[in-house]
Amino acid sequence: MSTSRGHKVLWSLVGITALLLAGTASAVVLAVQAARTMPAIEVQVDDHAADHRVAITIPAFLVAGAAWAAPRVMPAEARAELEIEMAEAALYLPMLEQLAADFEAMPDATLVEVIDGGDRVRVDKRGGDLLVRVRSADADVDVRVPAALVRSLAGSFAG
Amino acid sequence: MTRPNPLRAFAGAALLILAAAVPASAAAADELWLHVSVDETAGAQVRVNLPLSFLETAIRMVPADELRDGKIVLQDAELSVAELRTLWHSLDTAGDAVLVEMHDEREHVNVSRRGGDLLVEVDGPDAVEVRIPGAVVDAMLAGEGDELDLAAALRALAAAGEGELVAVTETDSQVRVWVDTSPAAPALRGR
C-alpha cells in the first residue's frame, strides 16, 4: 500500500518536473525566436588600417532598456542636462515617429549614393530598414537601423 | 420576400474591397520622387532620391532658428519676402513677362514668367535652366510677413507632377533636379 503511494508521489513529481522542463524549454525556444526576429541595430566596421573587424548587434529591448535606465543611473547634473535636451527633443519626437512611419511605408530604394574618388557612400531603404554602407580605403562600415525601432522609441518617449 | 443571394453578396463585398484597395495602391504607385543628380567630370558623383511626401515630413524636423514647422523666415535679405510676394502677385494680371534680363560679353541671364511658371535661364560658358511651377511659388509665398512656406511648396510641387526643375551644365560638372514617379535615378559611373 505504502509502496503504491510512494510510486504515485514519485510519478507525480516526475510529471510535474517534466511539465516544468517542457515549459522552460518552450519559453527558452520562444525567447530565442523572439530575439532572432526582434528588430536590432547592427553596426559592422572593418578597419583596413588596423586590420580588425567589429560587429555589434543591439536588440531593440536593449536600446529601450538603456533609454529607460540611463536617466535613472546617471549623476543628477547630467540627468538635469539630459532633461533639458529631452524637453527640446520632445517637440520633434511625434514628427520623428511620423517620419519613421513614412519611411516604412515608402518602397525600397537607394536614397543617397555618392562616389568621390575611392570613397563610396550608399544609403538604402530595404524592407523596413535603413541601410548605410560606406566603402573607403581606410574602412568599410555597414549600419542597419530598423525604422520600426525608431518609431517605437520615438513613440514611447513622446508618451 | 426574396432570399439574399450569397454569390451576389460575395461579389458585392469583393467589389467594395477592390474599390477601397485600388486608390491606395494607385497612390503608392504614383508617389512622386525628388531626384538630385550631380556629376563632376573629375570629381564626385551624387544621387539623392526621396519621396516628396517624406521630404515634407522631414523638412518640419530641421532644427534651425529660421525654419519652424516647414516655414523659413528670411531676414536681412536684399529683397524681402513681402516685396517678393507683391512682385509675384503683380504678375498675375501681367501674364507671361520678362522680369529680369541681363546681357554681357560672357553670358545672357533671363528671369521670366512663362505659362505660369518662374523660369531662370543663363546662357554662356555655363548653362543654367531653373523652372519653378507657378503653383509652387504661390504656395511658398502664401505665408505671412517674411515667411516662405517650404512644406506648402513641396505639397504644390507634388500636385504639379513630373518635370525637370533645375539643369546646370558647366564645363566640368552637371547638376539636375527633377521630379518623377521612379524611385531610381540614372546609375553612377563606375558602379
> How many CA atoms, within 13 angstroms, populate the side-chain half-sphere of residue B33?
22
Would you say the C-alpha torsion A24, A30, A32, A35 has a positive or negative sign? negative
Q: Which residues of B touch A108 (CB under 8 A)?
A: 183
Q: Which residue has the cell 541601410?
A: A131
Phi first, then psi: give them for residue B29, nearest 5 degrees: -70, -30
How far apart are the C-alpha atoms of A43 and A32, rounded to whole Å?
Answer: 21
Count of Cβ atoms closer than 10 Å to residue B187 Cβ: 11
pLDDT in tens, B52-91: 988 888 887 776 666 666 676 666 656 678 888 888 888 7
Residue B121 C-alpha, separation from nearest chain A C-alpha, in angstroms: 28
In this prediction, residue A24 carries a pLDDT of 84
Which candidate in B45, B59, B65 is best for mutational testing of the A interface (most A CBs within 10 A)? B45
Residues of B (16-75) whose Cβ lies below 8 Å from A: 28, 31, 33, 43-51, 53-54, 57-58, 60-61, 63
Residue A27 C-alpha, separation from nearest chain B C-alpha, in angstroms: 39
pTM here? 0.71
Q: Which residues of B touch A114 (CB under 8 A)?
A: 44-47
Residue pair B168/B33 in contact by the 8 Å Cβ criterion: no
How far apart are the C-alpha atoms of A27 and A24, rounded to whole Å?
Answer: 5
In the 8-state DSSP scheme, what is residue B4? P
Q: Which residue from B minimizes the CA distance to A113?
A: B47
Alpha-carbon torsion, ordered B59, A99, B50, A104, to 10 deg = 180
Residue pair B160/B52 in contact by the 8 Å Cβ criterion: no
A95 contacts B45? CB cut-off 8 A = no
Q: In which band, very low, low, confident or very high, does the pLDDT at B9 lie, cut at 50, 70 and 90?
A: low
How far apart are the C-alpha atoms of A72 and A85, rounded to whole Å?
Answer: 16
The segment with the largest mean pLDDT, out of A151-155, B14-18, B153-157, B184-188, is: B153-157
Residue pair A40/A148 in contact by the 8 Å Cβ criterion: no
N residues, chain B? 191
How far apart are the C-alpha atoms of B177 and B158, rounded to whole Å?
Answer: 14
Q: Which residues of A touch B184 (CB under 8 A)?
A: 109-110
Count of Cβ atoms closer than 10 Å to residue A132 Cβ: 16
Q: Regarding predicted confidence, which is higher, A86 or B7?
A: A86
Residues paired with B121 in a beta bridge: B110, B129
A110 contacts B49? CB cut-off 8 A = yes
pLDDT in tens, B25-63: 334 446 899 999 999 988 899 999 999 988 888 887 776
pLDDT surpassing 60 at residue B96:
yes
A111 contacts B50? CB cut-off 8 A = yes
In this prediction, residue B59 carries a pLDDT of 83
Strands A52-59 and A40-47: antiparallel
Count of Cβ atoms closer than 10 Å to residue A110 Cβ: 19
